[in-house]
Amino acid sequence: MSVIIFTNDLKNENSYGIGKIIHFLKKNIKIRKNINVEIVNFKNLITKIHKIKKSSLVHIHGCWSLIHLLTFIISKIYKKKIYFTPHGMLMPQALKIKKLKKQIALKIYQKKILDHCDKIIVNSNLEKKFLKKLSNNKNISIVPHGININRKFFFKRNKNTKVKFLFYSRIHPIKGLLQLVDIWSKSKVLKKINLHIYGNVEDQIYFNKIKSLFTNNIRYLGALNSVNKYQLMKKYDVLIYPSYSENFGIIILEALNAGLYVLVRENLPWKSLNSKFGKLIKMNKNFLEKNIILLTEKVKINKINYDKKYLRNYLINNFNWKKISNIYLKIYNI
């Protein structure tokens, strides 16, 4: 039986959804070929060194942590195939956050991991485009994230009620929530339309700026987790996602999986989004007002109740974990 090593920074286990992605990938790879996947982190590195020695390959997930560097060095010592997935952490907007620290890390070790791994795996064409500029390593494969397809499909909307809008993501400057709330709070058009906000607060100073702009129609309702996520999302009709940068945008996939229509910032890597269930737009006052008003019209309310089978097939054909894990196994070649 082959062994694959994944890395994960235990100090930041759920950030960027990496922990969740690794969990499902590990589970589905084992189901496909009964391959043992070991996860290395700070807590268990010493006890897992012998696993690295016996492994078929090592797949490093994420950046900026000492665990990634140590795993890379140990893997090189044992002459293992090394695969690397940055999960959007090397995108231009992401590099601007804690810029000095990241520039130092890039020069000291992060670029060496990029240049000297056997293969880079990214999640979109957009991420591949940026990494080709950043690294001398051109052996880059694109694999989208997967999702467990929602069998219940909470699509049935009450046609007699108002369209309900939400923002859902971690609350961090890169997600663009401050700009969205600023536009919404000052718009005469949107003042009668509610915006509900969900997400873990990762930057309290940033969140305080957002709260200072709240009006009666804008509310923060706490975090979402794997237990309550779909139960809460099914109460809404439209996800507004103004993030400045994403390597993929798994939240968009989760919203589709809950049957929501999505309005997404135009630069995000969802150009293939079907117009039946979403749209890429400029995140400015004019475009937001125009598209939100269109979505509140009675005709559009009916269109939001789109064909369940069509969307289900779209998700199954492109993003189900069975398909995604098979792509990984083909790339791993084990």
For 122-164, what is each residue's pLDDT tens digit? 999 999 999 999 999 999 999 999 988 866 655 555 555 688 9
Do 174 and 206 touch, CB atoms closer than 8 A?
no
The interaxial angle of helices 308-319 and 321-332, nearest 10 deg, is 20
> Which pLDDT value is given to residue 103?
94
DSSP category for residue 162: P
User: 225, 124, 91: which is closest to 168 by C-alpha?
Assistant: 225
Assign 168 a pLDDT band (cuts: 50, 70, 90). very high
What share of the chain has pLDDT > 70, as a percent? Answer: 90
> Which pLDDT value is given to residue 140?
96
User: 58, 72, 47, 83: which is closest to 3 by C-alpha?
Assistant: 58
Q: Is the pLDDT of residue 304 over 70?
A: no
User: Which token pair is 74?
Assistant: 């140990």
Rounded CA gap, 270 and 171, in Å? 21
- Give the pLDDT mean for 238-266: 90
- Give the pLDDT mean for 265-270: 90
For the chain, domains (ranges, CATH) are 3-147+319-332 (3.40.50.2000), 165-305 (3.40.50.2000)
Assign 308 a pLDDT band (cuts: 50, 70, 90). low
The DSSP code sequence of 28-73 is: HHHHHH--EEEEE-TTTHHHHHHHHHH-SEEEEE-SSSHHHHHHHH
Rounded CA gap, 263 and 283, in Å? 9
> Which pLDDT value is given to residue 313?
83
